[in-house]
């Protein structure tokens, strides 16, 4: 049996399986062994799908042996956050009330990966209902940051970030409504793609009821990986219309050519609200990498940031307030505390103000689109603070506000609906640092190109062994 396959990227594994250098079953078994070794230390994986994964791997190996064409990710195992449906597995959202909510069908993004030959390997942890910055669920407890157990691994796709960072999976699926794939990627030292609104099909409903407006407009499903090349492959597989999601736009994966060299707006301290020196250093390293790759790098801030963040908060909290009696029953005390602090920071508004804010959103999107027409890329931080201690986000109003403020560029880009790629840059004090690259609507290709240039210059930093 080939060993050390868990260290390989998804694209490397797909090539090895296609060329017969290893079997899909060997790939799956090596990752299952890695999970058994590492997961007790980090608690990222919640449900291992060993039997079905091995069965799927054997099917890939039979197709290859018979000379059938294989998909681009044939034999590659992937993990899935426990709020995305995997047929035959419970989509628990981390709460006891949904412990037995076994999905009859795959979510669209899971189905797309399966159709490309990838193999569902395991489910991963998340905060209750994905409503917190730290990954702690009632069903599964805390996920541990593999770089420093005293620090949060981030959320809400924290289980995915840690699974990728520790080699338990080469490819993961999470979702992002304000940094929920980008923050765990940053804190784990891996990469993540938050796609444009309408780029990937999603199924965001819980039960028979569809979600309200903000939850239709803001959250998106997205991949995590250890290399930008893997994100690009996943993007190509996941994109495109699906009858289950009428929001999907059939935009081309490669947009029209733009005048070169591309201009990059660099904002190390978005809105001028403060940034930690280690975070600023990450942005400066990435800016230098892009400059050396031929980009024109200019220090320019993004438009109307404070208004964008405020509008996001008021719209979301207004909708949360309407469902609060239900949410309050489902959430644990720390989850309730997180939402209560968020409502105190940017509270619900009345109907007239909510309707006005929907108009404000369109104006914000227009101003961002015009800004990105002049600067096709924005380079900035994922989180303007260093990694925070476990529990910091619910310690009190000041600590919560500090976390929300640190995520301001993630919040704004989720609300506007533009794509972003989080990519690591270096280690500082033994902890991974990184940045995000943002582009205009449906220009994931530009984000991925720039992130690849940063990665080529600065390298990759995972997988890491949390036991060492």
Range 101-108 contact pairs with CB under 8 angstroms and sequence separation of 24 or more = 107/202, 107/203, 107/221, 108/200, 108/201, 108/202, 108/203, 108/242, 108/244, 108/245
The DSSP code for 76 is: -
Segment holding 177, helix H or strand E:
none
351-374 helix and 305-322 helix, angle to the nearest 10 degrees? 140
399 vs 341: CA distance, rounded Å: 10
- CA neighbor of 414 nearest in space, from 382, 374, 449: 382
69 vs 462: CA distance, rounded Å: 31
159 vs 202: CA distance, rounded Å: 20
Bridge partners of residue 194, in order along the sequence: 420
Q: Which two tokens stand for residue 93?
A: 């959202």
List active site positions. 81, 156, 180
Cα 133 to chain centroid distance, Å, stands at: 13
- Contact between 60 and 24 (Cβ < 8 Å): yes
Burial of 278 (0-12, 13-18, 19+ CB in 10 A): middle
* Integer CA distances (angstroms), 177 to 155, 212, 217, 372, 401, in order: 11, 14, 9, 21, 17
Q: Kindly give, in sequence order, each residue whose CB lies less than 8 Å from that of residue 9, ignoring residues fewer than 6 positions away.
A: 170, 225, 226, 227, 229, 230
Q: Which two tokens stand for residue 286?
A: 């990435």
397-406 helix and 408-416 helix, angle to the nearest 10 degrees? 60
Q: Which two tokens stand for residue 10?
A: 């998804």
- Contact between 115 and 107 (Cβ < 8 Å): no
Q: State whether the Cα torsion 83-89-90-94 is positive or negative.
A: negative
- CA neighbor of 220 nearest in space, from 243, 240, 201, 241: 201
180 vs 161: CA distance, rounded Å: 10
């Amino acid at each position: 049996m080939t060993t050390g396959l868990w260290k390989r990227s998804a694209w490397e594994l797909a090539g090895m399986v296609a060329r017969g250098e290893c079997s899909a079953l060997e790939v799956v078994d090596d990752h299952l062994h890695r999970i058994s070794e590492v997961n007790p230390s980090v608690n990222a994986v919640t449900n291992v799908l060993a039997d079905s994964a091995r069965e799927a791997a054997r099917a890939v190996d039979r197709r290859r042996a018979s000379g059938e064409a294989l998909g681009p990710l044939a034999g590659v195992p992937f993990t899935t956050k426990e709020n995305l449906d995997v047929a035959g597995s419970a989509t628990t959202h981390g709460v006891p009330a949904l412990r037995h909510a076994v999905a009859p069908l795959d979510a669209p993004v899971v189905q797309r990966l399966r159709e490309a030959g990838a193999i569902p390997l395991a489910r991963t942890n998340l905060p209750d209902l994905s409503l917190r910055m730290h990954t702690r669920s009632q069903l599964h407890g805390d996920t541990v940051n593999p770089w420093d157990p005293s620090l949060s691994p981030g959320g809400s796709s924290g289980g995915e970030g840690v699974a990728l960072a520790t080699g338990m999976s080469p490819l993961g699926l999470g979702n992002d409504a304000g940094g929920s794939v980008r923050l765990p990627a940053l804190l784990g030292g891996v990469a993540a793609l938050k796609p444009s609104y309408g780029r990937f099909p999603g199924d965001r409903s819980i039960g028979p009821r569809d979600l309200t407006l903000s939850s239709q407009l803001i959250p998106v499903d997205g991949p995590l990986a250890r290399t930008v090349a893997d994100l690009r492959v996943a993007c190509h597989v996941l994109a495109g219309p699906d009858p289950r999601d009428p929001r999907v736009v059939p935009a081309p994966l490669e947009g029209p050519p733009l005048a070169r060299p591309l201009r990059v707006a660099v904002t190390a301290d978005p809105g001028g609200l403060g940034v930690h020196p280690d975070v600023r250093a990450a942005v400066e390293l990435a800016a230098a990498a892009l400059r050396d790759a031929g980009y024109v790098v200019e220090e320019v801030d993004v438009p109307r940031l404070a208004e964008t963040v405020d509008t996001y908060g008021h719209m979301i909290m207004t909708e949360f307030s309407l469902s609060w009696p239900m949410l309050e029953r489902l959430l644990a005390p720390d989850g309730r505390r997180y939402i209560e602090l968020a409502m105190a920071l940017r509270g619900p508004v009345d109907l007239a103000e909510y309707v006005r804010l929907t108009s404000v959103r369109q104006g914000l999107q227009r101003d961002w689109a015009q800004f990105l027409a002049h600067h096709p890329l924005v380079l900035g931080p994922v989180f303007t603070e260093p990694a925070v201690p476990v529990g910091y986000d619910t310690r009190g109003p000041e600590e919560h506000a500090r976390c929300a403020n640190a995520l301001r560029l993630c919040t704004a880009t989720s609300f506007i609906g533009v794509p972003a790629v989080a990519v690591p840059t270096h280690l500082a004090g033994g902890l991974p640092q990184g940045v995000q690259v943002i582009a205009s609507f449906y220009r994931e290709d530009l984000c991925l190109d720039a992130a690849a240039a940063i990665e080529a210059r600065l390298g990759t930093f995972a997988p890491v062994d949390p036991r060492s």
